[in-house]
Structure 1
Amino acid sequence: RISMPMNKLLASFLVLAAVLSPMAHAQLMNSQPIDGIVAVVDEDIILRSELDRQVQAIARQYASNPERLPPQAELERQVLERMIMTKLQVARADGSGVKVSDAELDQTLQQIAQQNRMQVPQLRQAIEAQGSSWQQFRDNVHEEAVVRALRQRVVQSQVSVSDAEVDSLIKNGGGNRDQLHLGHIQITLPEGASAEQIASAEAKANEVSQQLASGMDFAAAAIRYSDAQNALDGGDLGWRGTDELPTAFAKIAENLQAGQASPPVRGPNGFHIIKLIEKRSGQSEIITEYHVRHILIRENEVISSAQAEQLVRALRQRIEAGEDFAKLAKEYSKDANTANIGGDMGWFTKGGYGAQVAKALDETPVGQISEPFHSDVGWHILEPLATRVEDKTAEAERNKARQTIGTRKAEEEYTSFLRQLRAEAYIEIRLPGSDRAGASG
């Protein structure tokens, strides 16, 4: 962290360097604007060009619904705040040794491409066709991955869930599987807010509430007015279990009908408006399990795929002719986990061993031998020995309760972490017209 004078000295140095640069001199001679600084964040800066790129990306995202976006000045403020918080988190991650490798980044890009039914080269073409830089997109994805890794580090070190907490939640009627899809608008109060700041935030929250009552779209209001991290996503909290939500949010949602927004409610960090978008009830966890044994012949440098298939087909014929499945599995199967127990895979759900096994189970009655099928490790045959229907509701309830408590604690812990991170940082906002312009921290 650098002091106020040092930040001013840094900014002066940057301006001086720009003036002395031959390139900058040429730009001045040609009346071309020099990139300006819109924020100083500890030892880092945010340039006008960086902010413009991010704002343009948001504008493209809402190209089909431009009416949801706030006026340009307000959009810039929202985007700049998110950029500031990202820089603070990335800097903390770097100082804490939290890294995301190139291999991990490539895997994330692959997942993004798959979600959009593309290959990575096609994703790159699509990004560049929108007028965006692939390198900038890659850098943004890397930053998001670093932030996720930091959150995981913070949460893992601070959050734990005991069996007693799970028991208590279930005993008190928690751990249910009701799901709520909520929207959220937050008008933030600073630490140690004065009476004047509280009154101003309350007035703003009431004004937002009145605009919603007059028909303003909730997502548009969130983008325009909310201070929450998900503001630019329209305040969408997604689907959450009722016990995953902060207690105050869950209580507010209990009194709402689908499509209805609450009046402003005061919380520890500001005023909140909650919208219940949709609600769905949980179902009993009744599942079918399969008891199966199998034989696997792996492909390798010695056995080709064709040879593995030929051997599996020969073994199937021998079993059909009366030879013992378990004996042949012990002799031939290359699955180290099951070969010595006659190929017994135990009980599992249909999807427990992947799509190929699930398809074979669909096609093979109990007591029959499947047709040979191929997976990424080799060739298989399997025999379903039995099926059973299990009520896993109680087990699912405990798992859900544990997840619920963990999610809620993680949300609270990381929100507190971010508030402290921002409070400790030196931040100077130089965005013209911003109501937050000036230094803090």
Structure 2
Amino acid sequence: MTMTPFLRRLCATVACLALLAPALSQAAAEPVEVDRIVAVVGDEVITQVELRARLQSALQQLRRQGTPLPPQGELEKQMLERLITDRAQMQHAKQSGIRIDDLQLDQAISRIAAGNKMTQQQFRQALEKDGLEYARFREEIRGEMVIARLREREVDSRLTISDGEIDNFLAGQEATTGEEYQLAHILLRAPEGASPEQLQKLRLRAEQALKRARAGENFAQLAAAFSDAPDALSGGDLGWRSADRLPVLYADALTRLQAGEVSEVLRSSAGFHILKLVGKRGGKVNVAVRQTKARHILIRSSEVVSESEAKRKLEIVRERIQHGADFAEQARLYSHDGSAANGGDLGWLNPGDTVPEFERAMDALKPGELSTVVQSPFGMHLIQVLERRERDMSEERQRAVARQAIRERKLDEAYQDWLRQLRDRTYVENRLEEQ
């Protein structure tokens, strides 16, 4: 969802209006349907054609999932709000210099196709058979990748967890049963600094959704129609999680629910929530943690050094190491990380100690293996795994598990807060709402 397609559509609309001008001056002229603007976001527009395309895609997804379709008017309003939020994020990503090139996009689509046990060509044919334009699908995936990278840079990488938080978590943690909960939710996001009238309107809408849920309506259908959360079209499904990996608000509500029941309307800084406990099961308690001893070289991008230049420099360093240069010496010379003085040595790492992109790349390496250039919110990395070990970590292990649990608990709340602030900072004119 880059600016160029919108400019093309806008130019096409202007050209169409110019051609229609003489005809419109004649009383007998036949009515001609033209595209219209349904929202303005920053310096870009969202058109009726784009909204219809997204709506059609959403309807196809709901049909494939077997989810009963919500009223089209409700779904249209929800889809426009999601388009507005996506556009605000894309504009911020562009200003931040975040890009996904065609090679990265092709690799991602190849992984999606492989996950569906198809070649890329077979996957394309399957999409087109379902009525999805491949070019449009590619741009939607590009947009999702940009937004994911933006979230990692603006939210995930800035989330800090103090030793004090870990101490409090462990001190207050009761003996766990190992139970996990399958949850679904509906979020009605409240604007930053919302007026009492706006909050009351949102609460009434939440109460309406709750009433329908308790009357037996399909919860997934209600999530698609009411929820502002990114998982709305998946029925608001949060999957299986233990209580300590849920927002505190949700974990507290769980204590009052039986499987199949729906919570009261819950209030948080993000807005209003409705929670459904779909199921409960016994969980497994791991007795050991895999630790990885690794080192890396980091080159950060900046106003002076672009992402492509940082990647090129690190590829040169990688080639030198492959031809016999000492990794530690190269780290001391070129790395922008605090570990450079120690030859890039990061010591023993537990799960959750690094950002997700770094951890995924590190976990895929064998001891002694050198990674390709890996991008994270911090910049470009070259990673080498030195050793691995399995440890029952006692206190150290408990703290690592606690850190990951706190991180998972805080991430979604932090993202929703950031998203609400971004949405409120962005100029938005919702013409569909005005009509």
When normalised by structure 1's length, the TM-score is 0.67
Q: Is 1:223–1:234's contact at 8 Å kept on the other side of the alignment?
A: yes
2:152 is matched with: 152
State the AA in 1 paired with 2:264: P
> Are residues 407 and 138 of structure 1, via their aligned partners in 2, closer, same or farther at CA, if it must alter by over 3 Å?
same
2-side partners of 1:171 and 1:67: how far apart? 43
2-side partners of 1:38 and 1:143: how far apart? 20
Structure 1 unpaired stretches of 5+ = 1-10, 290-335, 338-351, 357-387
> Are residues 255 and 87 of structure 1, via their aligned partners in 2, closer, same or farther at CA, if it must alter by over 3 Å?
same
1:248 is matched with: 249
After TM superposition, the structure 1 = structure 2 runs for residues 15-414 of structure 1, keeping only pairs within 5 Å, are 17-21=15-19, 31-63=31-63, 68-173=68-173, 178-286=179-287, 391=392, 397-414=398-415
Q: Is 1:202–1:271's contact at 8 Å kept on the other side of the alignment?
A: yes
Give the Å deviation of 1:15: 6.2
State the secondary structure of the residue aligned to 1:68: coil
Give the Å deviation of 1:130: 0.9
Q: Is 2:270–2:420's contact at 8 Å kept on the other side of the alignment?
A: no
Identity of aligned residues (%): 37
Give the Å deviation of 1:165: 2.6
Give the Å deviation of 1:67: 6.2
Give the Å deviation of 1:24: 11
> Are residues 101 and 206 of structure 1, via their aligned partners in 2, closer, same or farther at CA, if it must alter by over 3 Å?
same
State the AA in 2 paired with 1:257: Q
Give the Å deviation of 1:417: 1.4
1:363 is matched with: none
2:301 is matched with: none
Q: 132-141 or 36-45: which moved more? A: 36-45
2-side partners of 1:67 and 1:144: how far apart? 23
> Are residues 87 and 160 of structure 1, via their aligned partners in 2, closer, same or farther at CA, if it must alter by over 3 Å?
same
1-side partners of 2:289 and 2:156: how far apart? 34
> Are residues 353 and 198 of structure 1, via their aligned partners in 2, closer, same or farther at CA, if it must alter by over 3 Å?
closer
Structure 2 unpaired stretches of 5+ = 1-8, 291-325, 328-361, 367-388
> Are residues 288 and 225 of structure 1, via their aligned partners in 2, closer, same or farther at CA, if it must alter by over 3 Å?
closer
State the secondary structure of the residue aligned to 2:46: strand
State the secondary structure of the residue aligned to 1:70: coil
> Are residues 240 and 23 of structure 1, via their aligned partners in 2, closer, same or farther at CA, if it must alter by over 3 Å?
farther
2-side partners of 1:415 and 1:199: how far apart? 20
2-side partners of 1:86 and 1:57: how far apart? 15
2-side partners of 1:137 and 1:12: how far apart? 21
State the secondary structure of the residue aligned to 2:63: coil
Query: Which structure's CA Rg is the greater one?
Result: 1
Q: Is 2:13–2:35's contact at 8 Å kept on the other side of the alignment?
A: no
2-side partners of 1:22 and 1:197: how far apart? 41
State the secondary structure of the residue aligned to 1:99: coil
Count residues in correspondence. Answer: 334
Give the Å deviation of 1:133: 0.6
